Chain A
Amino acid sequence: MVFILGVNFPERNLVKKSLESFFGIGNLTSTRLLARFHIHPTCKVGELGNKQVLDITAALSDMKIENDLRRQYLDNIKRLKETGTYRGRRHALGLPVRGQRTRSQIKTAVKLNRMERRL
């Protein structure tokens, strides 16, 4: 088991996949990170050297990911609501924000958009 940014990953996991398990890291960011530290895409977590693990952790801790990023998301929505914009209202009403029709298929908006939005 290897600790990356305080999360314990089993050694058999791919490094790329493990990185992508963080909120805010997708394919592109993980590819860039791997390239930055010269890790090949099929590398397993167990094959990482100590220095590489430390480097990755340092790089991740500089990035805005996980809770910081979530907070930023929520803050952005909150700002829309507080300034009384149409988008903010739609967020609060649980309706689609970006001009979709509401006759059918607004499940996602109903599920996610609400007064106390969670991420």
Chain B
Amino acid sequence: MVSSFCWSCLTRLPPAPRAILPPTLTAQRVAAFHTSTALFSSPVKKKKGDAPVAKFRQAKSAKMKKKKPVERTRPPAVGERKALKKRIVLSNPNALEIEGMQDLSAENMVDARLRGSILGLPVPMLDQLRAVQAFKPKQGWSIFRRPGTVVRRETLELGRLIDGISSEGENKGKVVRKIVTGVKGSGKTVHLLQAMSMAFTKNWVVITVPEAQDLVIANTAYAPLSDENPNVYVQNDATAALLSRTVTANQKVLSSLSVSQAHPALKSAVKPGMTLEALAKLGIQDPAAAWNVFQALWTELTATAPAPGFEKTFKPRPPVLVTMDNLAHWMKESKYNSINCTPIHAHDLVFVRHFLSLLKPNANKPTLPNGGLILYATSASNSPAVYGLTVALKQLAARQAGVNPSSPEYPQPDPYLNADKRVLAVFDASKSTAPKEGALELQTLSGITREEARGFMEYFARSGLLRETVTDAWVGEKWTLAGGGVIGELEKLGRRLRVIA
């Protein structure tokens, strides 16, 4: 009979007596005949699905594990989320400093040679611009070393306009009113910012409404203006905020001017010889008086001569820049409710009414006798569709092109679409008789030219954001991709492009 053991297979032989081997290793050594070390072998796993050995006289029900309480972190402090959302970063220390980049100044804002280059915003002015909320959180200021804007054709025109209004010449003391429109990303808000920065360099007074929406979405307090006219509403908190923006940004100018008119509405709060800064601060401290204070400040800024008794301290008033962003929100009913629970039209808010009244040339009394610029921009990303506004802007464009309002080519509102009469009335301005009062104009921003686009792309390259050789052909390609030089699209291309190795 053949033995069941093969000769070479010694593993089956009875093991050597255990006592000889060191006690710790025995279990592993004898485990199996393997070429790999025993240490690598995985420890014996418990088989899944093995029913636990039943114990006698114990409950067999499945044990429910108690859920651990989920650790809840505290919600962020009040206002923290909003502050994070509204945070504006104006500098990126990783971006390269650009050699020879000029700052905006009174001299170079009219210099046509700088067209297509980037002018930096002067560092001391940044606080002022922040105060008037000229920067918006979604704009790409945070990718560059320091904020700067492109000098495009419209910028130069604006520079010349502001220069003309504030210096001696035929345009001195002129009032220019403009509605800035354009496609999304065409630089409307930045155009307003450029106007503000130029106005600051010229020591104008800058009054801004950074977001028209805030006044009509019923997020701030409102009240009837007075018992006499209960259908007009005043927003005291919003007015106080406006005063606070104005004071912080124009502190230098306002503190050099003093009160020159009598203000019966403010009674004894106004003292003779008070600076306009102190006057405006009255409204910030007491929001209930904010609207009266704002009106007083406005009369002071539009004063041409002192009232009797105030001659001693009178100084000529500087021109005023008024800007507003996102016009369409002011052209429909607001979210506020009147006493009968019907929506209040935005034009019944006295704040809105005041700023819209500036668009109309006033025959009897000039709107801004010391000159100034009124720039209202529309928005293409967050704006309600208001049919009346669309028609009104078309009419405005037609009038500007020389179409007679009585001619059949003049765009008329569709009678079935119920265009808002009040909206049409705001823009329907006949030409004023006063020579200094400019009629309402429509400025449509479109793409920048190829040369300007080249300067803009070079700015990216020199900041170290774009690693490409900027040639005319390359810029032309990007210019086309950006819908004919729409600057917002160009910016996206500039920050997205990376070198292909």
Q: Inside 8 A of A42's CB, which chain B residues have their CB?
A: 218-219
* Closest A residue, CB atoms, query B233: A38
A selection of 14 A-B contacts at a CB cut-off of 8 Å is A31-B337, A31-B341, A34-B337, A35-B337, A38-B223, A38-B224, A38-B233, A39-B221, A40-B218, A40-B219, A41-B218, A41-B335, A42-B218, A47-B221
The smallest beta-carbon distance between A40 and chain B, in angstroms, is 5
A residues near B338, Cβ cutoff 8 Å: 35
Task: Tell whether A32 is near chain B: CB-to-CB under 8 Å.
Answer: yes
Task: Collect the chain B residues with CB atoms within 8 Å of residue A43's CB.
Answer: 221
Of B221, B339, B340, B341, which one neighbours A40 at CB under 8 angstroms?
B221
Provide the bound-state CA to CA distance between A4 and B233, in Å.
26
Q: In the bound complex, how far is the Cα of B342 from the Cα of A36, in angstroms?
A: 10
Closest to A42 in B: B219
Closest chain B residue to A28 by CB distance? B341
B337 nearest in chain A by CB position: A35
> Is B336's beta carbon under 8 Å from chain A?
yes
Cβ of B224: which chain A residues have Cβ within 8 Å of it? 38
**Min C-beta distance of B347 to chain A, whole Å:** 18
Q: How far is the CA of A2 from the CA of B335 in the complex (A)?
A: 26
* B288: nearest chain-A partner, CB-CB: A49
Chain B, residues 219-234, CB within 8 Å of chain A (1/0): the string is 1111110000000010
CB pair A35–B341 under 8 Å, yes or no, is yes
Docked pose: A88 CA to B359 CA in angstroms: 67
Report the separation of the CA atoms of residues A44 and B495 in the bound assembly, to the nearest whole angstrom: 43
CA distance A79 to B223 in the complex (A): 46
> Measured between alpha carbons, how far is A35 from B335 in the docked complex, in Å?
11
Contacts of A47 in B (CB 8 A): 221
With both chains docked as a complex, state the minimum distance between the C-beta of B322 and any C-beta of chain A, in angstroms: 25
CB distance from B361 to the nearest CB of A (A): 34
Q: Which of A36, A38, A41, A43 has the most B CB atoms < 10 Å from its CB?
A: A38
In this complex, what residue of A is CB-closest to B223? A38
For A36, the chain B residues whose CB sits under 8 A away are 339, 341
CB distance from B50 to the nearest CB of A (A): 44
Q: Which residue of B lies closest to A47 (CB)?
A: B221
How long is the Cα–Cα vector from A36 to B337 in the complex, in angstroms? 8
CB-based contact A32/B341 at 8 Å: yes
Closest partner residue, chain B, to A36 (CB atom): B339
Choose from B219, B222, B335, B340 the contact partner of A38 (Cβ within 8 Å).
B222
Q: Which of B325-358 contact A (CB under 8 A)?
A: 335-341
A35 contacts which of B219, B221, B339 (Cβ < 8 Å)?
B339
B218 and A35 within 8 A (CB):
no
Closest Cβ–Cβ distance, residue B224 to chain A (whole Å):
7
Identity of the chain A residue whose Cβ is nearest the Cβ of B344 in the assembled complex: A35
B339 pairs with A38, CB closer than 8 A:
yes
